[in-house]
Structure 1
Amino acid sequence: MTSTPSGPDADLKSAVVQELEWTPGVDSTHIGVSVDGGAVTLSGEVATYPEKLLAANAVQRVHGVTAIAQEITVRVTGGTNDSDIAREAGEALRRAVDVPESVQASVHDHVVTLSGGVDSRHQWVAAERTVHRTRGVTGVLNLVRIRPVAMASGVEAAITAAFVRHARIDSRDVTVTTAAGGLVTLEGTVRSWAESQDAEEACWAAAGVTEVSNRLLIEYGVSDGLEIEY
């Protein structure tokens, strides 16, 4: 299940394995790790969908990781069927104070698909977070749309100013451009995955943003692209 890389990949694999073992809520004994050129592939199986997310988050924290292929599967136990999941997910969405009534959930083969429209990235994230702990869920497909509104003038400058306030983002190496429809594109280089994610979250905080294209490269000595596959 787990490959045996050499050189820097071997060191990176060892660090990833240790981080998985260190992470509360993750049973690493059933998770396989392989590394190729800084790209980490996770395989095996876990008991719940939140555990799968925790495993991916653990890998993101490891210095040197340039991409993650998430191939972990979630075990289906307890006889929970799609109807049970749909009912519980729907009830959870109705109870959530930060998710509008426009968001709906459907279920097929234990995977929840979210649809509808929201006014902000915050609500988009809240909808996904609300259902991913539902018993029996093995995956969440978030197709909720963020409704476009006119972006205020000066968004690029405001985002860059946020970078300056966030000590771990070097704004001199990151370029921000905006386009019609609320699209923000990030280009340039950063020093870690955490820095890339912080830059992306800063963009989402700007009013009118509906999509962020993160083209930032992680520069660990050699620039590599940033990618997560679910």
Structure 2
Amino acid sequence: MQRTLEKTDTELQNDVLSELKYEPSIKVTDIGVLVKNGTVTLNGYATSYNEKWQAVHAVKRVAGVKAIADDIEIQLPNSYHRTDGDIASAAINQIDWSTTIPQGTVEVTVRNGWITLEGEVEWWYQKNAAGSLVKQMAGVKGVSNSISISPKVTKKEVEADIKSAFKRSAMLDAQHIRVETSGNNVTLHGQVRNYSEYDEAERVAWSEAGVSSVDNRLEVDWMF
């Protein structure tokens, strides 16, 4: 594979700013971008937790980013302010209305606009769905997803199944990813070319039935 010339910090900064402008959910004029040796620091402020999350996610899509420091502060408009009780009630209603998350499996605690999710579900996608639902709510300043996964499946060839899924993926180079399992716990080693592949590898690992934890130790090296 032909190696691409490494970007300068200025080129990377311009690419990050362009990607932020390309994301319609982000007010890019309120967010600053600093780059040093491939590490991108985001500062400024966002009007919601979801906007802050979308900004970091957009930077992950840019080739050449080696690390991300998220220093964005959330400044809620007056129309977004909610009491902790209002946020908690809205959050549990969102979760109860979801057809993805079994009722009664998730507990919600809110303190100073920060939501903590606890409880127990069988699949990672159910845990992920709960976090995705509440992070978009008005008044939310942050989300800690502490839901545990307790799969009913205990006897699966987890490692073999994940490796096969990596080989099927159009986004991943399975030859550069090593999978280790200990019971229902999965550890990923190796290299990927960008944060999109990093996230995709973790998503694939979590999607395997029986996985209760994923330790993603993949290194991002877009030059390999």
Task: Quote the residue 1:208 is aligned against.
Answer: 210
Q: Is the 8 A contact 1:73 1:138 kept in 2?
A: no
Q: Is the 8 A contact 2:162 2:208 kept in 1?
A: yes
Task: Quote the residue 1:218 is aligned against.
Answer: 220
CA distance in 2, matches of 1:25, 1:13: 19
1:14 aligns with 2:14: yes
Partner residue of 1:156 out of 152, 155, 159: 159
Given residue 33 of structure 1, which amino acid in structure 2 is its aligned partner?
Answer: V
* Aligned pairs, number: 215
Q: Is the 8 A contact 2:60 2:194 kept in 1?
A: no
Q: Is the 8 A contact 1:152 1:207 kept in 2?
A: no
Q: Could you tell me the percent identity over the aligned residues?
A: 38
Task: Quote the residue 1:140 is aligned against.
Answer: 143
1:173 aligns with 2:176: yes
Task: Quote the residue 1:81 is aligned against.
Answer: 83
Task: Quote the residue 1:4 is aligned against.
Answer: none
Given residue 88 of structure 1, which amino acid in structure 2 is its aligned partner?
Answer: A
Q: Is the 8 A contact 1:103 1:114 kept in 2?
A: yes
Task: Quote the residue 1:227 is aligned against.
Answer: none
CA distance in 1, matches of 2:154, 2:193: 29
Q: Is the 8 A contact 1:156 1:177 kept in 2?
A: yes
Cα shift at 1:221: 2.8
Cα shift at 1:63: 0.3
CA distance in 2, matches of 1:104, 1:147: 15
CA offsets 1:117-167 (integer angstroms, 9 cap, x no match): 111101101111121122111111111111144543422121111111112
CA distance in 1, matches of 2:223, 2:106: 44
Task: Quote the residue 2:4 is aligned against.
Answer: none
- 5+ residue gaps, structure 1, are 1-6, 223-230
Task: Quote the residue 1:194 is aligned against.
Answer: 196
CA 1:123–1:154 in 2, change beyond 3 Å: closer, same or farther?
same
Instruction: Give me the TM-score of the superposition, normalised by structure 1.
Output: 0.88
Instruction: Give me the TM-score of the superposition, normalised by structure 2.
Output: 0.90
Aligned residue for 1:116, secondary structure, equals: strand
Task: Quote the residue 2:3 is aligned against.
Answer: none
CA distance in 2, matches of 1:194, 1:14: 19
Task: Quote the residue 2:32 is aligned against.
Answer: 32
